[in-house]
């Protein structure tokens, strides 16, 4: 058993985005005696409203700002006595990275480097033996794509990123590794599969499909819909990050996955059946009639699968939600929060349902 690290004051970057928001709510429910400062520049994907219920609590502060602003980050680390960074902030939408890679390289690579420099300055250069952690949240997309029969990605699978998004995340993983190896910054990294759950921006596959199906609009599927992804409920991702921060070995990477491989088409069919059951009198039954097919995305990875045996065996990780329970919870949340996805001001990228 590794020594248990106890975070007290956390800086959560990208905490107003999908996973970051869920992480902040998860963490403060689990550990109400700790304090979180969220740093988020509120791009199109970030929403302050996601965190508004926490405003006024003494253990929470929201700061609108950019991870590229190194002096701001240094100031926050000093003023708030932060000893733990959980780094979610990123440009995260693969389709956007194909049409505009620059923002991805800037935020995901330079932004991560800027955070690392700030952490090194305040935790290593200005202090002696200051206990700290830098947890970097990354993706399984750094490993590239698999055929139907390839073994799942493990932590020793060579990196082979295929999209500008994946390449920028791969680069950030390497820089984190280098800061641990070269300077002794206490880092951990997680590479996770596709997440789903509340607060996901409605341009991603599951929320886009829920929104279109409920409104009687078509759900466009890329290519033949046979792309396989491993879907993980967002709080199961957060439980994995929690274990890694507290008990993970320094300098290590851990894959987090849900043992839940689904083709995009099967996933949409499951969602259609769930909606048929919930709304038997809807004029849109059977919802599967709304599925349409569109030209595949350039360079679309065929299959991702995660071998999560390292985190399971070393840290006792186990996803709590089944796909059925997670999807039902997700649907409930979107039904209760229609303003999240019906807002006219939402800036959706393209009209197609993408895998991640
Ligand atoms: N969504 C997934 O399925 C998935 C899977 C594995 C890993 N990840 C990783 O998890 C992290 C979070 O993903 P997500 O889906 O929640 O993303 P998201 O796009 O929903 O949220 C990203 C957040 O980062 C903020 N941000 C962007 N640039 C910033 C900057 N320069 N400075 C400060 N804040 C900035 C945005 O405003 C937003 O709130 C990312 O690093 C992503 O690569 C996501």
Query: Does residue 4 form part of some domain?
Result: no
First to last CA, the chain: 35
Mean pLDDT of 207-235: 93
- The total of structural domains in the chain comes to 1
Assess whether 242 carries a catalytic annotation: no
% the chain with pLDDT above 70: 96
Query: Does residue 144 form part of some domain?
Result: yes
Residue 123 CA to ligand 1 center (angstroms) comes to 24
Residues with CB under 6 A from ligand 1: 13-14, 16-20, 39-43, 45-46, 66-68, 88-90, 92, 107, 111, 137, 139, 169, 192, 194-195, 201, 356
Structure tokens at 267: 């996933």
Q: Of ligand 1's atoms, which has the minimum distance to the CA of residue 107?
A: 31
Of 66, 91, 95, 140, which residue is the catalytic one?
140
Q: Of ligand 1's atoms, which has the minimum distance to the CA of residue 42?
A: 37
Of 66, 95, 141, 354, which residue is the catalytic one?
141
Query: Does residue 75 form part of some domain?
Result: yes
Query: Does residue 277 form part of some domain?
Result: no
Domain containing 50: what range? Answer: 9-200+232-258+304-320
What pTM did the predictor assign?
0.95
Assess whether 125 carries a catalytic annotation: no
What integer pLDDT is reported at residue 298 of this predicted model? 87
Of 5, 26, 165, 254, which residue is the catalytic one?
165
Q: Angle at which helices 323-336 and 264-278 pack, to 10 degrees?
A: 60
- The residue to mutate among 23, 38, 46, 341, having the most atoms of ligand 1 within 8 angstroms of its beta carbon, is 46
What integer pLDDT is reported at residue 331 of this predicted model? 95
The CATH number of residue 169's host domain is 3.40.50.720
What integer pLDDT is reported at residue 343 of this predicted model? 59
Q: What is the pLDDT of residues 158-201, one digit of tens each?
A: 999 999 999 999 999 999 999 999 999 999 999 999 999 999 99
- The residue to mutate among 37, 89, 114, 189, having the most atoms of ligand 1 within 8 angstroms of its beta carbon, is 89
What integer pLDDT is reported at residue 263 of this predicted model? 95
Query: Does residue 26 form part of some domain?
Result: yes
Query: Does residue 170 form part of some domain?
Result: yes
Mean pLDDT of 90-97: 93
Query: Does residue 111 form part of some domain?
Result: yes
Assess whether 83 carries a catalytic annotation: no
Q: Name the band, by pLDDT with cuts 50, 70 and 90, for residue 1.
A: low
Query: Does residue 48 form part of some domain?
Result: yes
Residue 280 CA to ligand 1 center (angstroms) comes to 36
Checking if the pLDDT of 344 tops 70, the result is no
Q: Name the band, by pLDDT with cuts 50, 70 and 90, for residue 143.
A: very high
């Amino acid at each position: 058993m590794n020594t248990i690290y106890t975070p007290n004051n956390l800086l959560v970057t990208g905490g107003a985005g999908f996973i970051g928001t869920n992480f902040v709510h998860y963490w403060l429910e689990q550990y109400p005696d700790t304090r979180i400062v969220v740093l988020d520049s509120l791009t199109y994907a970030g929403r302050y409203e996601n965190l508004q219920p926490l405003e006024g609590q003494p253990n929470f502060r929201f700061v609108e700002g950019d991870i590229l602003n190194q002096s701001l980050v240094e100031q926050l680390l000093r003023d708030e006595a932060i000893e733990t960074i959980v780094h979610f902030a990123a440009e995260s939408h693969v389709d956007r990275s194909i049409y505009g890679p620059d923002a991805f390289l800037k935020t995901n690579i330079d932004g991560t480097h800027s955070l690392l420099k700030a952490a090194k300055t305040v935790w290593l250069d200005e202090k002696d033996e200051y206990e700290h952690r830098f947890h970097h949240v990354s993706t399984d997309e750094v490993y590239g794509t698999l055929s139907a029969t390839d073994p799942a990605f493990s932590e020793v699978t060579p990196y082979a990123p295929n999209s500008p998004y994946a390449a920028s995340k791969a680069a950030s993983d390497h820089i984190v590794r280098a800061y641990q190896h070269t300077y002794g910054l206490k880092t951990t990294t997680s590479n996770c599969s596709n997440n789903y759950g509340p607060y996901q921006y409605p341009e991603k596959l599951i929320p886009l499909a829920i929104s279109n199906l409920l409104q009687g609009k078509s759900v466009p599927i890329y290519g033949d819909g046979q792309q396989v992804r491993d879907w993980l409920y967002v709080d199961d991702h957060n439980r994995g990050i929690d274990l890694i921060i507290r008990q993970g070995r320094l300098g290590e990477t851990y894959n987090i996955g849900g043992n839940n491989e689904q083709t995009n088409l099967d996933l949409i069919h499951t969602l259609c059946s769930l909606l048929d059951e919930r709304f038997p009198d809807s004029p849109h039954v059977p919802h599967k009639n709304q599925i349409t097919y569109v030209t595949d995305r350039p360079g679309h990875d065929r299959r991702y699968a995660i071998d999560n045996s390292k985190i399971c065996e070393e840290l006792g990780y186990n996803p709590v939600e089944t796909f059925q329970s997670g999807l039902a919870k997700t649907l409930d949340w979107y039904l209760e929060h229609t303003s999240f996805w019906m807002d006219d001001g939402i800036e959706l990228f393209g009209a197609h349902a993408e895998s991640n």
